[in-house]
Amino acid sequence: MRRDGYRPQTGRHALASCWLRYYSGLTLLRRVPTAVHFSPSICQGRHFQIISPYLAPVNITSATYLISSPGYQSCPEPDRPEYAFIGRSNVGKSSLINMLCNNQKLAKTSGSPGKTQMINHFAVESASANKSPTQWYIVDLPGYGFAKVSQQQRTRWEKMTEAYLRKRKNLVNVFVLIDSRHAPQKGDLDFINRLGEWEVPFCIVFTKSDKTTQAEAGKNVRAFLDTMRKTWEFLPPHFITSAVKKLGKEKILHAIEQWNAEYTAGG
C-alpha cells in the first residue's frame, strides 16, 4: 500500500497541515510541512518559514477545567482549536499544562504514574498585543507505557486515545512529551510513527530539562531527532521545557497563538 501526497482537506489538517507520504512496505514516513509557518526562534526547527520577526507576549487570561470524557464522542463541542498533550506516564504532561496556564492546580499532577486516565478538557482564553482574546481547548491525555495497570485497562486507554486523536475534528496539534533525561526510547518512537500513519500533526516537547545538565539534555535531544531522521524526511518543531523553571513556555504559547490565528483565518 502506498499513500502519496496526502492533501489536507478541512478542519485540523488544513491548519497545522503536512503532506504525508506513507510507504508501508519500507516503513518510511515522510512529513513535509507546507502551511506551517514557524519562526525558528519559536520552534527551534529547521524547516519552517519565518513570518513573525517580532513576538508579542501571549497572556493566558483564563483557564478552567471543563470535563473528563471516557471517549471522543462525549468531548465538548468542537467549536474552537484544540491542543492535546500526550507522552509516557509521568513525563510531565499535567505539569506542563499547568505551567502554560500559570495555574499549578489546574491539571492534577502526581509523583506516581497513571494519574490521568480520561480525556480532560480545559477551556483557555489568551490575549496578545492588540488582538481580541482567543478561545481554545487544552487536552490532558492519559500516559502510555504505564506497566502497573492491567492489560485490559491499558488496551482501553489505547483505544480511547487512538479514536480521539484520529477523529477529533478541531484537534490542531498534538504535543508529544519526551523526557529529556533519557536516550531515545522505542515506545516513544513507535508512538510518533503511529501518529504519522494516522496523519495527526504533532510537535515534540522535551521535558524536565532542569533535572539534568544542559549538555546531557542536549545530547538526548540530538539523539532523539537523529533517530527520527532515519524514518522522517522532515522533522516537526521541538521545544525544550522545564515546568519547574518555567522554561519553554513563551515559545509554546507563541506556536499555539499562530495556529489559532490560522484556524480563525481558515474558518
Distance CA 3, CA 24 (A): 9
126 binds ligand GTP (CB under 6 A): no
Nearest-approach distance from CB 106 to ligand GTP, in angstroms: 11
Q: How far is CA 81 from CA 2, 12, 15, 110, 224, in A?
A: 30, 8, 10, 28, 29
* Segment interacting with ligand GTP (CB under 6 A) among 13-21, 56-64, 72-80, 111-119: 111-119
Q: Which lies closer to ligand GTP via its Cβ, residue 82 or residue 199?
A: 82
Q: Which residues between 102 and 141 bind Mg ion (CB under 5 A)?
A: 115-116
The label of the residue with cell 536516550 reads: 183
Q: With beta carbons less than 8 A apart as the criterion, state whether 241 and 251 touch.
A: no
Encode 11-77 in three state secondary structure: HHHHCCCEEEEEECCCCEEEEEECCCCCCHHHHCCCCCCCCCCCCCCEEEEEEEEEEEECCHHHCCC
- Which residue has its beta carbon closest to ligand GTP? 143
Read off the C-alpha cell for 98.
499547568
* Segment interacting with Mg ion (CB under 5 A) among 33-41, 44-52, 94-102, 118-126: 94-102
Q: Which lies closer to Mg ion via its Cβ, residue 18 or residue 243?
A: 243
Give the helix/strand (H/E) hosting 2.
strand 2-3
Among the listed residues 34, 110, 155, 214, the single contact to ligand GTP using CB under 6 A? 110
Among the listed residues 39, 44, 116, 170, the single contact to ligand GTP using CB under 6 A? 116
Q: Which lies closer to Mg ion via its Cβ, residue 116 or residue 134?
A: 116
* Interaction partner, residue 233 (ligand GTP, Mg ion, none; CB < 5-8 Å by kind): none
207 binds Mg ion (CB under 5 A): no
The label of the residue with cell 490575549 reads: 127
Among the listed residues 143, 196, 236, 237, the single contact to ligand GTP using CB under 6 A? 143
Angle of CA points 141, 144, 150, to nearest 5°: 110
214 binds ligand GTP (CB under 6 A): no
Read off the C-alpha cell for 170.
478541531
Q: Which lies closer to ligand GTP via its Cβ, residue 17 or residue 44?
A: 44
* Interaction partner, residue 201 (ligand GTP, Mg ion, none; CB < 5-8 Å by kind): none
Site size for ligand GTP, by CB under 6 A? 22
Q: With beta carbons less than 8 A apart as the criterion, state whether 176 and 204 touch.
A: yes
Q: Which residues between 23 and 82 bind ligand GTP (CB under 6 A)?
A: none
Q: Which lies closer to Mg ion via its Cβ, residue 37 or residue 154?
A: 154
The label of the residue with cell 495555574 reads: 103
Q: With beta carbons less than 8 A apart as the criterion, state whether 231 and 193 touch.
A: yes
Among the listed residues 174, 200, 225, 243, the single contact to ligand GTP using CB under 6 A? 243
Give the residues lining the site for ligand GTP (CB under 6 A): 89-95, 109-111, 113-116, 143, 207-208, 210-211, 242-244
